[in-house]
A and B are shown apart, each in its own frame.
Chain A
Amino acid sequence: MAVRKISLEALARVEGEGSLELSLHEGKVETARLKIFEPPRFFEAFLRGRAFSEVPDIVARICGICPVAYQMSAVHALEQGLGIVVDGPLRLLRRLLYCGEWIESHVLHIVMLHAPDFLGLPDAIAISREHRAEVERALALKRAGNEILRVLGGREIHPINVRVGGFYRLPTPSELSALREKLERAREEAVALLRWVATFPCPECERDYEFVSLRHPSEYPMNEGRVVSNRGLSLAAEEFDSAFEESHLPHSTALYCRFRERGSYLVGPLARYNLNFDRLSPWVQSLAREAGLGPVCRNPFQSILVRSVEVLFACEEALRLLSLYEPPEAPSVALPAIPGEGHAATEAPRGLLYHRYRFDREGTIEEARIVPPTSQNQASIEEDLRLWAERHLSEPEESLRDRCEQAIRNYDPCISCSTHFLRLVIRRS
């Protein structure tokens, strides 16, 4: 039978370049391939030979949307290799900085990239014509996240204040009190955002995923914890390489990261929420329930709701951290001059982000390994697409494409991590 190849318009509102190819046979989706053709930039190669003090500034440039995640995984991995633990107020400030990135990145995705799918509109500007107040409120919330990044990081994109051992400069009391006022408003705006998103019509779709995220003894995870799953996995970051493997397929410049034994898994807000619901405050839990979420959510389309819950959490947590903060004596701790190898995983807005570095006595990087969340989710995205496309095969191609795009955006894929626009190619035989 003749093979029909149909190219459709580029996929928008994702960060990075790629396309989707569906191969159909007798009404079934045989393969769904997310082809990422973002040009490779070779970070792991050119990090070799750099000073470890340069690493936080360099790895930030992997992603303009989540630079703090790259900086956090890097400094924690390097510090582990040096045998030091950055604790107390400096640890608190790092968590506060991460709250800023979660708020900024999540709100960007919820309102500007994902919401248009649920409302049947092309973009957030079109939404603002019908829901001006909601969009403006969300932009104000995003601005509050950016304000944390600006105060603690120096600027919103590629912050300059993060270093191995702590920070270059501590925030001043007046900077922090101005931040507290903005965050108190932001917390109210986050409640309103969650309630608005809960009114969006949401597709029914559940899958039995293996969720993977960090788990911390007492906190909703960000910078620290064991790598756990809903199927019994529990690892320290240094065991990551032994449990997961990256493979390389011809159609993509992003590597696929899978379990050595079981294949695909899911990282990101859904995984964090399902594995750490008990670490959310009773107030956030009750607002999540009011929005229609239970303690476990297996519907990838509800990730937009879970992201909204995490924004609420991040506002509440940022305020809690600000109330606990007592300035330390110095902005950073002294670093020993020793060779080492260190591993760390932290929770980027899009999910688990693993870094490993080996360095010599002078602090020169000898080897670097970076596993971003999107390469971990790539196999899971393809499985979602097979299931989801098959259910909607009878629909016109344009509608099928829209559905597939929405399913991809469930993951907030940050394709520039490895590597922008998705094209949908359907092969029918």
Chain B
Amino acid sequence: MPARPRLAVWKFASCDGCQLSLLDCEEELLSLAEAVEIGYFLEASRKTLPGPYDLSLVEGSITTPEDAERIREVRRLSKKLVTIGACATAGGIQALRNFARVEEFVSAVYASPEYIRTLDRSTPIAAHVPVDFELQGCPINRFQLLEVISAFLAGRTPAIPRYSVCLECKRAGTPCVLVARGIPCLGPVTQAGCGAICPGYARGCYGCYGPMESPNPPSLGRRWQALGASERDLHRVFRTFNAGAEPFRRESEAHGG
């Protein structure tokens, strides 16, 4: 019997939610543990095996000098490296520091700022090392995660659509909240994958899956304004969990500082 591929899961600055998606696979998790050898997954196991790892899943963004070094070591140990979630692919919500003075952030939260060592920017993994695939979402969809793992184990490209949330709404038969109810929605510029949950719950998409392929945020921004959104609303809504993703960053900046 050939050796099972060795899987590693790494964490940088994050909420643990994307790794938890793997633990949330429940029955699939036990099958996965039979298909791969879990070499490093500290949230789940104290047993660690040495690299190299056939596949590394990386959660979180780079925010400290130590982590900037550690991600290079992870890359060196990994044949394939896949980033999971908005933190690892766009810098996460903690990238809001990129638009502020980090010293002021430190002193707003900590009584003794001198004890804190942090970088002034939160950056995605691809800003530091080559990445083989980026899985978007805050949090990621666990079925998409299983697809990505299966694809890498089979040596094929993951079937992760880059189209917008709108197609998921159509497929689910959810009436368009923007057109039918006048609710501002980021669905037209946001990548599918969540299953269009928010429109299904009578609210507009808030963009947690990040930009779709070739989005047109300025056009959507004009539509929002026609529905009564202010410059500040637009500035804020593009500046959340994927604030560091280029199309969202640009649109946020177009609506003020």
Which residues of A are in contact with B by a Cβ distance under 8 Å? 9-17, 38-46, 48, 50-51, 54, 57-58, 61-65, 67, 108, 112, 116, 122-126, 128, 135-136, 139-140, 142-143, 146, 154-158, 160-161, 168-169, 246-250, 253, 255, 331, 405, 416, 420-421
Contact = CB atoms under 8 A, between A and B. Distances in A.
A168 B201 contact: yes
Contact of A64 (B17, B102, B115, B200): B17
B43 A39 contact: no
Interface in B89-138: 92-94, 96-97, 100, 102, 104-106, 108-112, 115-116, 118, 122, 138
B95 to A, nearest CB: 9
A123 B67 contact: no
Contacts of B44: 12-13, 112, 123-125
Contacts of B224: none
B30 A39 contact: no
A405 B139 contact: no
Given A12-B44, A41-B94, 5 more contacts: A13-B46, A46-B94, A61-B241, A168-B202, A255-B110
Contacts of B241: 61
B241 to A, nearest CB: 7
A4 B112 CA distance: 30
A42 B11 contact: no
Contact of B63 (A16, A39, A122, A135): A39
Interface residues of B, number: 63
Contacts of B104: 45
B214 interface: no
Contact of B47 (A11, A39, A46, A123): A123
Interface stretch (B21-29, B73-81, B164-172): B21-29
A61 B30 contact: no
Interface in B3-50: 11-21, 23-24, 26-27, 29-30, 33, 38, 42-48
Interface of B: 11-21, 23-24, 26-27, 29-30, 33, 38, 42-48, 63-64, 67, 92-94, 96-97, 100, 102, 104-106, 108-112, 115-116, 118, 122, 138-139, 194, 197-198, 200-203, 206, 208, 233, 236, 240-241
B201 A420 contact: no
Contact of B42 (A63, A331, A421): A421
A61 B138 contact: yes
A45 B106 CA distance: 8
A42 B97 contact: yes
Contacts of A140: 26
A157 B30 contact: no
Nearest to B202: A169
A410 B97 CA distance: 34
B200 A39 contact: no
A405 B208 CA distance: 35
A150 to B, nearest CB: 9
B18 A64 contact: yes
A160 B197 contact: yes
A119 to B, nearest CB: 13
A374 B60 CA distance: 20
A139 B26 contact: yes
A405 B46 contact: yes
B24 A157 contact: yes
Nearest to B208: A158
A337 B93 CA distance: 27
A253 B202 contact: no
B46 A51 contact: no
Contacts of B43: 12-15, 420
Contact of B11 (A17, A62, A142, A158): A17
Contacts of A246: 111
B117 to A, nearest CB: 9
17 contacts: A13-B44, A14-B43, A17-B11, A40-B110, A42-B102, A43-B109, A54-B236, A58-B93, A61-B17, A63-B17, A123-B45, A139-B27, A157-B20, A157-B24, A160-B197, A253-B116, A405-B46
A161 B21 CA distance: 19
Contacts of B30: 125, 128, 135-136, 139
Given A39-B13, A61-B241, A46 B46 contact: no
A35 B206 CA distance: 36
B46 A45 contact: no
A12 B97 CA distance: 29
Given A42-B108, A125-B38, A247-B111, A169 B201 contact: yes
A174 B190 CA distance: 30
Q: Which residue of A108, A157, A168, A421 has the most chain B CB atoms within 10 A of its CB atom? A: A157
A88 B109 CA distance: 36
Contact of A39 (B12, B108, B109): B12
